[in-house]
Structures are given as C-alpha cells and as structure tokens.
Structure 1
Amino acid sequence: MGRIGAGVIERVTQACVCAGLLLAPMAATQAATEEDPWEAVNRPIFRFNDVLDTYALKPLAQGYQFVTPQFLEDGIHNVFLNIGDVTNLANNVLQLKPHAAGVDTARLIVNTTFGLAGFFDVGTRMGLQRNDEDFGQTLGYWGLGSGPYVVIPLLGPSTVRDAFAKYPDTYTRPYRYIDHVPTRNTVLAADVVDTRASLLSAEKLISGDKYIFIRNAYLQNREFRVKDGEVEDDF
C-alpha cells in the first residue's frame, strides 16, 4: 500500500464512520442544501469511496481483528493514539490553550515512557484525558468559516477549510520523517487497518440515506469540536 493511498484511506474511514458514531442521534434526514451545494458531484465520489472501503479496506480490517488478540489490538491502537497526541499538542498551542497543551505534553511523556511508547494508556488512568485537535479546528477557532461540504476522492467527507488544513497536520506526523520507504509504508498501513478495525462496530449506527447521514453527522461533529462543545441545541 503506497504512502499516499494509506493516508488517504485512513481519512475515509475515520471521517465517515467515526462521525456516524459520535453523532448518530443528531444526524438529520433532510438535505442541507445550503451547506452542500455540490451534492451532485459529492454523491458519485461518495459512492466510489464506499465501494473501495467495502471491498478493500473493510475486509482487511475484519481479518486483522479476527486474528489479533484483543490486548494486542488495544495496545497497537494506543500506540497510534499516542502518536496523534503530537498533533493535538501542536494545535492546542496554536489555539493558545495552555492547559490543554499541558495535558497533551504530560500524556506524551507518561505514555511514551511508562506506557512503553504508548502501548499502555497510562495517561488516561492518571486522569489526563485525551484531546482531539487538528489544524482545521485551529482555523475554525480563529474565525475561518468551514465553507461548503465536499467529499474528496479517497479522503472522504470534509469541508473546503478542512480539506486545505489536512496538509499542515502532516508535519506533526512521524511518517513524513521516515526516510526508509518500506518501513514508512508498513507503519502507515498498520495505522490504517487499526483505525478501520476500531470503527467496525460503529457502522450499525448508520441508518437511512447513508450519504446524508454521514454528511450531517460530519458537519455537526466538526461544529461541536471547533466550538469545544459550545453549540446551540437545534432541538
């Protein structure tokens, strides 16, 4: 699996399935045309991504989950979450959130050392709850609007703002700095499969028009995260 392909598929599954998991009760069934003016183009791209996931990535994830003991699967997942804390730290610094940045730093130190490179999530057991930040949220924090909803080939659900924000986040990922190509691709592939396996149980929460469900869940999830949970209750 190539470097680009692996990173791309990771975003497909993470954005699509995780959004449905986090906001399944909130996903409306009506189209939000003002937020999705490019629906006629987005839907075919969504179908392409969905077919790719159904016949390529999902079977790999199911096989991985079947052969991997639960304790090992959890540990591998924790390692990749520990790597992601670098991204959280960088964006919390950019958002001028010293407390959150301090928590990210403490988690990285504790989990990398006592947690054996993050295999054990010691930080959470110590009360250091994991943050979830990215550069798209940083831009939103400083007032940049999301722009229209867009489905990117292989990358999945996004907005104009979040699509451009994906690239800066790559500088906080270790893969960019691994010069040995086979090693880099192996680690990337493992990250992709692990992420997809951890989200298999979320698919049962998706109902109705899958495109609309995921779109609305994604948009509401992004608004919730950008505003740190301080959103108006539409209900």
Structure 2
Amino acid sequence: MNTFQTSCSLKIQRLGLVLLTLCLVSCASIPEGQVRIKKDPWEETNRAVLIFNDNLDDYLIRPLTKVYEFVVPSPARTAIRNVFSNVGDVYNSVNNLLQGKPKAAVDDLVRVFVNTTIGLGGIWDAASAAGVEKHSEDFGQTFGVWGIPDGPYMMLPLLGPSTVRDTAGWFFDIQTDILIKQIDNIPLRNSTTGLRIIDQRAKYLGSSDILESAAFDKYSFIRDAYLQRRRSKLYDGNPPPLVDEEENDNVPDYSSEQKRIR
C-alpha cells in the first residue's frame, strides 16, 4: 500500500512539473496598452504561472472545493476553519513578538489558550466571542518590519501572488508549521495539508465571479491588489502616504474592489 501511494505521489508530481513546464514555455503576452510597473520585471513568466494556476483551479481545486462544500455541513466547515485558525494564532504570536508588538503577541497566546480549552481544541472560536482581537501576521510581514525590501512581484505555482520577500517568509512559515513538521504520518500530513488548501479555497469561492467582473485585466488587478494589501498589512492597516513616484510606481488604487472581494 505504501509503495502504491509513493508511486501515485511521484506520478502526480511529475504531471505537475510537465504541466508547469508547458505553461511556462507558452506565450503569455502582455495586453496591448497595459502599463508595465518596475515591481514586476518578470511579468511574462508571472502571467504564464497565473494561467497554470487558473487551469489547476478550474479543473481540480474548485471542483474539489464544491464537493467539499456539498458533503461537509456548514457547522463542520466552520469548526475545521477554526481549528486551522487556532493553530495559526501560534505563529501570529511569534511574528508579533518578532515585530516588537508584545501586547498583540500576548493577545494571540490568550486566544490559543482560550480556544484550545474552552473552545475544545479550537472548534469554537471562544476567544473572538470574548472580544480578544485576532491578528494576521507572517514572516513576510516580519521581514518587512525589519526593513528588508519586498523585491520584485512573483506569481508562484499553486500559492499565487507573492514577492521575493514574502516567498522567503513563506519558506520560514513552512519550516515552523506544526501541522507539517510535527505530523510524522505522511498520508495524514498530506491529507491535512490538502484539507487546509480546500478550506482556504472554500473561503474565497464566492469571490471568483466578482474578481472576473471587477477587472479588465485579471492579472494586473490581482498583482496591484496584492501589493496594496501587503503594504497595508505591513503597517497594520494604516500605511503612510506614498510620496516617491518610483515607490508608487503607477499602481492604481483598487481598495474599494478589494473590500468587495473580501
């Protein structure tokens, strides 16, 4: 059985590499008249990766997500999301501490304690019900607080929009992930990772149609919205005004559309 699972896993990985290679060598041209920005020097490759991600979503992830929503009742899906969120509060606390925000770090630990005990392992978000604020921090944001530049924009296979700094941060996020590092049983670990991906996709399932209708160029909308959102998160929702034209880099303001998609 283990040999069969290993064989299937290798075949899936090889198929993914083939699909990605075909996608990257395909022509992903920039629409005529589209303004290029300095933060996106790899735009052609990024557009090709977006095509790959869209195809993967259309033919695999979205169908699985719809089956998941059909089979799993809403209360159970909420409980699953709360458990993942409870684990995430551990990393929120670590990153808040590294960013020099001890009060927020303590709040995150209080959330973990309350949700793990009263909330039965995080199934019920008792901390939010009690008014304990939830944060959303990661190593990419921590590196930004430390003064590390964000670098060029990147579109990552499966993971989606990122920057060089956020990609490095994601690597550290993975290295400290309890659900990945502490589960020795490979099938269980893979199943947990898959469930987390499907859960996250279910969270934004209703926003796909809005995104399609909100932008003439989907790629530019995703890129610009991502860069603006990450800058906002870096400054805890209160970023200073941009005064340098190079820093602003002609990125349009999509804040109202981002609110609709959220």
TM-score, normalising length from structure 1? 0.84
CA distance, structure 2, for counterparts of residue 32 and residue 146 of structure 1: 18
The residue that corresponds to 1:165 in the other structure is: 169
Of 192, 198, 210, the residue aligned with 1:193 is 198
Partner of 1:205: 210
Considering only CA atoms, is the larger Rg found in Structure 1 or Structure 2? 2
- Partners of 2:222 and 2:210 lie apart in 1 by 11
User: What are the superposed Cα offsets for residues 108-130 of structure 1, whole Å, 9 maximum, x if unpaired?
Assistant: 00001110110100000111121
Residue 258 of structure 2 corresponds to which residue in structure 1? none
- State the partner residue of 1:181: 186
- Structure 2 distance, partners of 1:205, 1:224, is 22
The equivalent of 1:66 in structure 2 is 70
Counterpart for residue 106 of structure 1: 110
Q: Distance in 2 between matches of 1:199 and 1:181?
A: 28
**Which of 33, 39, 42 is the equivalent residue of 1:35?**
39
> Does the 8 Å contact 1:90/1:172 carry over to 2?
no
CA distance in 1, matches of 2:35, 2:141: 24
**Residues of 2 paired with 1:130 and 1:215: CA distance?**
26
Q: Map 1:15-30 to 2 at 5 A.
A: none
1:126 aligns with 2:130: yes
Q: How far apart are the structure 1 equivalents of 2:112 and 2:176?
A: 13
Deviations 1:139-178 (A, max 9, x none): 1011111011011222221101111111111233112111
Letter in 2 for 1:59: P
Query: d(CA) in 2 for partners of 1:32 and 1:56?
Result: 31
- In structure 1, give the amino acid aligned to 2:167: A
Cα separation, 2, equivalents of 1:161 and 1:205? 29
Q: Deviations over 1:185-213 (max 9, x none)?
A: 11111111111111101223312211111
Between the aligned partners of 1:203 and 1:233, the Cα distance in structure 2 is 30
* Other-structure match for 1:20: none
Q: Do the aligned residues in 2 keep the contact of 1:86 with 1:173 (CA within 8 Å)?
A: no
Change (3 A) 1:180 1:145: same
CA distance in structure 2 between the aligned counterparts of 1:134 and 1:31, rounded to whole angstroms: 31
Paired residues of 1:36 and 1:150 also in contact (CA < 8 A): yes
The 2-side partners of 1:69 and 1:112 are apart by: 22
Q: Could you list the runs of 5+ residues in structure 1 that have no partner in the other structure? A: 6-29
Cα distance 1:108–1:32, how it changes in 2: closer, same or farther (>3 A)? Answer: farther
Q: Which runs of 5+ in 2 are unaligned?
A: 1-7, 14-33, 243-252, 254-262
Contact 1:136/1:161 (<8 A) preserved: yes
**Relative contact order, higher structure (CA 8 A, sep 6+):** 1
Asked whether 1:220 is paired with 2:228, we answer yes
Offset of 1:218 from its aligned partner?
0.6
Conserved? CA contact 1:86–1:172, under 8 Å = no
Deviation at 1:233, TM superposition (A): 5.7
Shift of 1:31: 4.0
Other-structure match for 1:96: 100
